[in-house]
Structure 1
Amino acid sequence: MAEIKIYSAVTCPYAHRTRLVLQEKGIDFELNEIDLQNKPANFTDISPYGKVPALVHGDKRVWESAIINEYLDEVFPNPPLLPKNPIDRAQARIWIDFANTRLVPAFSNLLRNPDIQKQEEAKKELYKHLEFIENEAFGKLSLNGPYWFGESVSLVDFTFYPWFERWPALKQYRGFGIPTEFTRIRQWKHALKELDSVKAIANPKEFYIEKYARFATPVAV
């Protein structure tokens, strides 16, 4: 029996983060797929917020993807997915926070907002965040390496990547692809796609275009 149980939903990018970490570390785990539209009655006993991912390790529970991922990196230290140097670890946490508080909300606002003017505002906001990543992350941190911190993949890479795998839905419904001028971001995405851990649970772009249609299409009233 697997020591780790993960509660996930295939469409959820937050759960995708944790599954990537489990795959990269080669951790044996039991996958429990949750229907977010019809959650089990006792699901809050496992995930108090009622969200995925949630992790059960023995008799312990951990929830929230960023916290789960750090927990996994501490309990299963090989391969390490956070830098050893304190300032670099701080930088990693800053970027994880940037994903959670800036990039992800901008992505969601653009996809979900039916108002054309609001969409244009969201495109500008999302472009600004991509520009910041291009210049501050890949321009200063990664140097010539393919990943956020250079030659070694990290929790930061796995924190951002699920939204980039879902980017075709944003392009399909909002006409916003990854701008060609952000060459380092494009190179980074390609490098991540080639990882065995990413390939193991990857979905084709058609999957996200189909699944995310309900977020992009206004609900009839």
Structure 2
Amino acid sequence: MAEIKIYSAVVCPYAHRSRLVLQEKGIDFDLIEINLQNKPEGFTNISPYGKVPALVHGENRVWESAVINEYLNEVFPNPPLLPNNPIDKAQARIWIDFANTRFVPAFSTLLRSPEIEQQEAAKQELYKHLEFIEKEAFGKLSGEGPYWFGESVSLVDFTFYPWFERWPALKHYRGFGVPEEFARIRQWKKAIKQRESVVAIANSKEFYIERYARFATPVAA
């Protein structure tokens, strides 16, 4: 039995984040898959919010993906997934907050909204966020490197990536792919997609298209 247990759901992008960090750090863990439509009795004793991911490390419980990932990075410091420099570390936390409070809500609104007007507004919002990432992250932080902070992969990369792996569902159901003009974002996606940690737990685009069918209907031809 591994020292770490992670409670996850394969379709959940938040749980995907923490599984990526565990993979990247080479941490041995037990994976407990939770059916979010039929949660086991007593699950809130592990995850008080009743959500995944939740982490058990010995006697310790941690929940919320961004908090879990920082915890893992501190307890298992190698390889480091946050910059050492205080201002760069602050920038990383700003981008993680940006993902949680701006990027992910726009993605989810576009996928889940039944009204065309809501979808169009969400497309504009998501485009704006992609433009901001292209200019402020890859235009200023990354230099010539493929990742958010250049040559070294970080928690920020793993914070955003699960939604990009699910992007084919957004394109299929809402007709919105990652625009060609965001070349650096597209290069980043290609680079991170090839990492061993990502490949190890990747799912196909068909998987997400099928799993997200209940949230959306296909774009009319």
Bin of the TM-score, shorter chain as denominator length: over 0.9
Does 2:66 correspond to 1:78? Answer: no
- Give the letter for the 1:117 counterpart: E
Does 2:154 correspond to 1:154? Answer: yes
Query: TM-score of the superposition, structure 2-length normalised?
Result: 0.98
TM superposition shift of 1:154: 0.1
TM superposition shift of 1:72: 0.1
- 1:150 partner SS: coil
- 1:6 partner SS: strand
For 1:6, the equivalent position in structure 2 comes to 6
Aligned residues: 218
For 2:97, the equivalent position in structure 1 comes to 97
For 2:164, the equivalent position in structure 1 comes to 164
For 1:202, the equivalent position in structure 2 comes to 202
Unmatched runs of 5 consecutive residues or more in structure 1: none
Distance in 2 between the 1:199 and 1:164 partners?
Answer: 14
Query: TM-score of the superposition, structure 1-length normalised?
Result: 0.98
TM superposition shift of 1:47: 0.1
Distance in 2 between the 1:60 and 1:22 partners?
Answer: 16
For 2:46, the equivalent position in structure 1 comes to 46
TM superposition shift of 1:205: 0.2
Distance in 2 between the 1:216 and 1:99 partners?
Answer: 22
- Give the letter for the 1:102 counterpart: R
Unmatched runs of 5 consecutive residues or more in structure 2: none
TM superposition shift of 1:41: 1.0
For 1:177, the equivalent position in structure 2 comes to 177
Q: How does 1:8-27 map to 2 (within 5 A)?
A: 8-27=8-27
Moved over 2 A (4+): none
Distance in 2 between the 1:63 and 1:215 partners?
Answer: 25
Q: State the identity %.
A: 83
Distance in 2 between the 1:69 and 1:111 partners?
Answer: 26
